[in-house]
Structure 1
Amino acid sequence: MKHQVDFFAGALAARGIGTGDVVALQAPNIPEFVTAFHGILRSGATATTVNSMYTAEEVARQLTAAEATMMVTVSALADNAVAGAEQAGLSTDRIVVIDDDGVHPALTGMLGEAHPAPEVDIDPAEHVAVLPFSSGTTGTPKAARLTHRNLVANTCQIQDLLPVHPGVPMQAVLPMFHIYGLTVLMNFGLYRRAQVVTMAKFDLEEFLRIVQDHRIQASFIAPPIAVALAKHPLVDKYNTDSLISMLSGAAPLDGTTAQAVADRLGCEVGQGFGMTELSPVSHLSPFGQHIYPHGSIGPAVPNVETKLVDPASGEDIDVPSDEESPAGEMWVRGPMVMKGYLNNPQATEATIVDEEWLRTGDIATYNPGGWFTVVDRLKELIKYKGFQVAPAELEALLLEHEKIADAAVIGVPADDGNEIPKAFIVPQVDAEGVTAQLSAEEVIEYVTSRVAHFKKVREVEFIDEVPKSRTGKILRRELKHSA
């Protein structure tokens, strides 16, 4: 693998890629993802990882925002990836298709050139290694600038908290283009010299077969997978007794579901807290200690400070001595906090405040036993199956529709335990006072055709007016109450 990384870095350098350049990477979880990602970093360039489900429009938008000059993808995603890269101005020779589509440069050909890796001189504490896109606490997706030090620090911060050791088979189903998969499954798995078993996409039966056939000991999941493992009859058809640990992240997992999975599979189920801006892990229940309750996010990982701040007064909440604290916004600081957002000083200043504290936008309580529990959210972000959905992005899209006068989007609970995007629509009224005829199905189809599957609007309600503050901010809590 090291030779492949070096040769890929050399091939990139031979094409003029180096420090100051950004290379986009859009691929599922396959071994070649590791070669491409670390080859990009080894060349001195910065990687921007692209969601595999993005439409061509979304790919183009990210590549343009990240100022990418090259794209690496696979043939299965080439339709959207190539179209998006071309929209962003990249020529055929600047689009690499890993498994060779006969048109673009391919990985084997580039490795076969056997160019040595270049000499690179960077400051790892300052040089940006990766630009993953995040919606932060609000607004449309922004590129979080994560340095080499950020990534290395976070890998080291979790090294003694998870039962992953040399040779341990661990399952990598969560996408490596997402910071959770990138740090915890790929980088941490490699650092611990585990046997990383990749899955290109989630399928419950395939997930269970891999656990059984590869004798998986450590698995990493998101809450929707936990729900399936707790309830689906397929689980009983497979032998899962090799499992020791299962870590859930990317969205809150309720204690009841976590306990149900633990009981059914006979393994320890833990939960952590993270954000793209935190590289991503800031809190994690150490496995093997059994002292933190299901539903909590555990204590802060090593070298992380945490405080709770009253959202109304801005004052710090005192640490309680014998009872759970009042709820407050959780602020953290440590070596894994991002450098800031790319080309967005305003968003950076709103997120990283008062001597490097990062505002998470999550409301939590602290228990004197040493753990935190997330109880609510200040931020407007919707978490659907662990993926971030920014209401502002969908609202902007809806407002482009000629029959929509105004729109607001919030997250509402679905029957399967997920949070889904619901749109509140104010139809357009013409000069004669006639209201435009528009159905919920039309609204859903309009959005579905323009965004990745996980972002689509799944419920629609027509209203007379979107509630807003005097400054024009959408009052989402009023919509949540009415929903």
Structure 2
Amino acid sequence: MTFKSQSPDIDLPHDLSLWSWLFDSTQSCLSKYPRDKIQGFTNVVTKQHVSFQDVERYTTYVSTALTTLCGLREGDVVIVYGKNSIWYPVATLSAVRVGAVACGISPEYNIEELCFSLQLSKAKFIMATVETADKACAAAAKSGIPKENVILMDGARVGMMSIQRLLQLGESRGEMKQVRPYQIPKGKSNGDVCAYLCFSSGTTGLPKAVMVSHANIIAQCLQVQQITPPDHDKVLAALPFYHITGIVHQLHLPILLNAHVYVLPTFTLDALLQTVADYKVKELLIVPPILIRMVRDEQTVSKYDLSHVKRFSSGAAPLSQEILALLESRFPGTGFKQGYGMTESCSAITSHPPSKYAYKYADKVGMVVGSTEVRVVNPETGEDCKVGEAGEIWARGPQVAMGYLNNPKATAETFDKDGFLHTGDIGKFDDEGLLSITDRMKEMIKVKGIGVAPAELENLLLGHPSVSDAAVLGIPDETAGERPKAYVVLNPAGGLSPADAGRALIQLAKSSKARHKWIAEVEIVHEIPKSPAGKILRRKLRETSPQSSGNVIVQDESRTSRL
């Protein structure tokens, strides 16, 4: 059977670009509120503020300068490489305004990872920060991108163009000479045009660039708006803007809602709680590892007045009943909501409506959002499951992404001809229409809600002379949710003892990969179990007891330090 939303269908325009919909349509907050009531983005450290009206003007000027002076063209990809900033929305929406494609990546990416992103996306420009500028310039040089196409989002540096300078140059042309915003071409809809690229591991394999259309973002904002209570007028932007949750719920949705966004450039639990206390933020959108710290770190949490908090919002990874019970006990009178989805669904397929904020529903991942259909399919028979029966979750709706950039094989494996996204997750619906996630077919490891592809780390390990075979999977971690663990078969000719090899491989990941990809533990095994087709049988690895097998295990000595 097909499970449909209990919410009404959304009124999705098909002829408007994302920028025009946000700033120049009847749905825009700029047309609904007087000038002095327009909210915006505030840096909680510097107190610098840009209103949504400022964002509209700034993106007009910056996109005009990028087009007329820097050669940005429709369809060009602009990599946005930096931590959260009030200039991040200006950078991304400047590209989107003129039909270019914005692509946010982790500021922790090293030069090699950045080069991979540049090559896969075929990016023409990089928006960097002072902290990431050196790596951006080095990666640009390796990837054939002119140095002048590396632009600072904030701050200043001799010899480098900045967004602030582009803003001045664009504004100096006068209002009549601004480049017009991109229009959806005749014969196409906004679902046919890519606005963002987001890196995802999909259900398996190496990172892929998910093509998120103008319509995907608009649809998801409208779907979430339907189930957002009116008191949601302040948004804590603690999650990274490059993640699909940040793109939708911290960058675009607040503009639609006219909700004030408090931008946290760098996360610490103290900084987050101080922001919540100072600005009386009522809803906390945070990933499970942060929630877990909040219920367990009483000494830190007790320093702040959080009595105004009404609810917690989470996603990206499951929370145990124990943690949910502790959360309700620690914050009595609050509610809890979470969403289920992935980058390929532009965030949420399901989410809790206000009527289901009670903690008795907290172990579920919500109800199907508007204009969306979900099938639960038995992975062995291909037949649809009934209420209470578990199967793979397939979803279809206007928020489902376009596919993977230049990867038709992976696109066909994940998005079927009928428009359903095959999530790789196992779940079931109850009689009330609430979805539970029971298992995960896909292999991706979730570190603080960020996907880490096992294949990427496996390829790294297999390049080491001491390694004959390797497999990577996630293990539970109290602060990060999961962290990667490597199972390794040593090469007898490698010359290292098992303990020395384990330490060397942990160090290899640290020197080669971003912090969230570091390996927490290496277990030296005799063989990697595989199917006749050569597929790694990860479940068998999980079931192996190191105590009974006598395997050597080496742990990262700094594992107890903060990620």
Q: Deviations over 1:223-246 (max 9, x none)?
A: 011001111121111001221222
* Equivalent-residue separation in structure 2 for 1:403 and 1:439 (angstroms): 7
Q: Deviations over 1:196-223 (max 9, x none)?
A: 0000121011111111111111221000
Q: 1:153 to 1:93 in 2, by over 3 A?
A: same
**Consecutive unaligned residues in structure 1, runs of 5 or more:** none
Q: 1:259 to 1:8 in 2, by over 3 A?
A: farther
| Cross-structure match for 2:57 | 3
Q: 1:130 to 1:89 in 2, by over 3 A?
A: same
The alpha carbon displacement at 1:165 in A equals 5.1
The alpha carbon displacement at 1:286 in A equals 1.3
| Cross-structure match for 1:172 | 237
The match for 1:305 among 373, 382, 395 is 373
**Equivalent position SS for 2:376:** strand
| Cross-structure match for 1:17 | 72
Amino acid at match of 1:409: V
* Equivalent-residue separation in structure 2 for 1:400 and 1:406 (angstroms): 10
The match for 2:266 among 182, 198, 201 is 201
| Cross-structure match for 1:268 | 335
* Equivalent-residue separation in structure 2 for 1:252 and 1:308 (angstroms): 19
Q: How high is the TM-score relative to the length of structure 1? A: 0.95
Q: Does 1:467 align with 2:535?
A: no
The match for 2:285 among 211, 220, 238 is 220
| Cross-structure match for 2:515 | 453
| Cross-structure match for 1:392 | 455
**Equivalent position SS for 2:418:** coil
* Equivalent-residue separation in structure 1 for 2:502 and 2:157 (angstroms): 40
* Equivalent-residue separation in structure 2 for 1:475 and 1:377 (angstroms): 14
* Equivalent-residue separation in structure 1 for 2:258 and 2:321 (angstroms): 31
Q: Does 1:182 align with 2:247?
A: yes
The alpha carbon displacement at 1:255 in A equals 3.3
The match for 1:441 among 480, 500, 503 is 503
Amino acid at match of 1:420: R
**Equivalent position SS for 2:367:** coil
The match for 1:231 among 288, 296, 300 is 296
Check whether the contact 1:165–1:193 (CA below 8 A) recurs between aligned residues.
no
| Cross-structure match for 2:438 | 375
Tell which deviates more after alignment, 181-190 or 73-82: 73-82
**Consecutive unaligned residues in structure 2, runs of 5 or more:** 1-54, 546-563
| Cross-structure match for 1:366 | 429
The alpha carbon displacement at 1:26 in A equals 1.2
* Equivalent-residue separation in structure 2 for 1:417 and 1:49 (angstroms): 22
| Cross-structure match for 2:207 | 141
Check whether the contact 1:171–1:220 (CA below 8 A) recurs between aligned residues.
yes
* Equivalent-residue separation in structure 1 for 2:510 and 2:528 (angstroms): 22
The match for 2:102 among 23, 35, 47 is 47
**Equivalent position SS for 2:66:** helix
**Equivalent position SS for 2:472:** strand
| Cross-structure match for 1:67 | 122
Percent of residue pairs identical: 33
The alpha carbon displacement at 1:435 in A equals 5.9
Q: Deviations over 1:318-346 (max 9, x none)?
A: 2x3xxxx1211111110011111001111
* Equivalent-residue separation in structure 1 for 2:125 and 2:390 (angstroms): 45
Q: Deviations over 1:39-97 (max 9, x none)?
A: 11002100111111111110110011000000001102223233222222212110001
**Equivalent position SS for 2:392:** strand
**Equivalent position SS for 2:512:** coil
| Cross-structure match for 1:107 | 163
| Cross-structure match for 1:285 | 352
The alpha carbon displacement at 1:427 in A equals 1.1
* Equivalent-residue separation in structure 1 for 2:321 and 2:235 (angstroms): 24
The alpha carbon displacement at 1:163 in A equals 2.8
Check whether the contact 1:278–1:338 (CA below 8 A) recurs between aligned residues.
yes
Amino acid at match of 1:381: M
The alpha carbon displacement at 1:162 in A equals 2.5
The match for 1:478 among 533, 540, 544 is 540
Amino acid at match of 1:393: E
Check whether the contact 1:164–1:218 (CA below 8 A) recurs between aligned residues.
no
The alpha carbon displacement at 1:436 in A equals 4.4
Q: Does 1:79 align with 2:134?
A: yes
The alpha carbon displacement at 1:157 in A equals 0.4
* Equivalent-residue separation in structure 2 for 1:463 and 1:422 (angstroms): 12
Amino acid at match of 2:276: V
Amino acid at match of 1:60: C
**Equivalent position SS for 2:57:** helix
**Equivalent position SS for 2:285:** strand
Q: 1:82 to 1:242 in 2, by over 3 A?
A: farther
Check whether the contact 2:290–2:479 (CA below 8 A) recurs between aligned residues.
no
Amino acid at match of 1:389: V
Check whether the contact 1:22–1:67 (CA below 8 A) recurs between aligned residues.
yes
* Equivalent-residue separation in structure 1 for 2:432 and 2:99 (angstroms): 44
Aligned residues: CA RMSD: 1.6
* Equivalent-residue separation in structure 2 for 1:217 and 1:460 (angstroms): 42
**Equivalent position SS for 1:177:** coil
Check whether the contact 1:138–1:379 (CA below 8 A) recurs between aligned residues.
yes
* Equivalent-residue separation in structure 2 for 1:429 and 1:8 (angstroms): 58
**Equivalent position SS for 1:75:** coil
Q: Deviations over 1:153-190 (max 9, x none)?
A: 00100002223558x22211001100011101111111
* Equivalent-residue separation in structure 2 for 1:436 and 1:256 (angstroms): 43
The alpha carbon displacement at 1:463 in A equals 1.0
Check whether the contact 1:245–1:287 (CA below 8 A) recurs between aligned residues.
no
Amino acid at match of 2:253: F
Check whether the contact 1:226–1:258 (CA below 8 A) recurs between aligned residues.
no
Check whether the contact 2:284–2:313 (CA below 8 A) recurs between aligned residues.
yes
Amino acid at match of 2:273: L
* Equivalent-residue separation in structure 2 for 1:279 and 1:427 (angstroms): 41
Q: Does 1:90 align with 2:152?
A: no
* Equivalent-residue separation in structure 2 for 1:399 and 1:464 (angstroms): 15
* Equivalent-residue separation in structure 2 for 1:253 and 1:201 (angstroms): 24
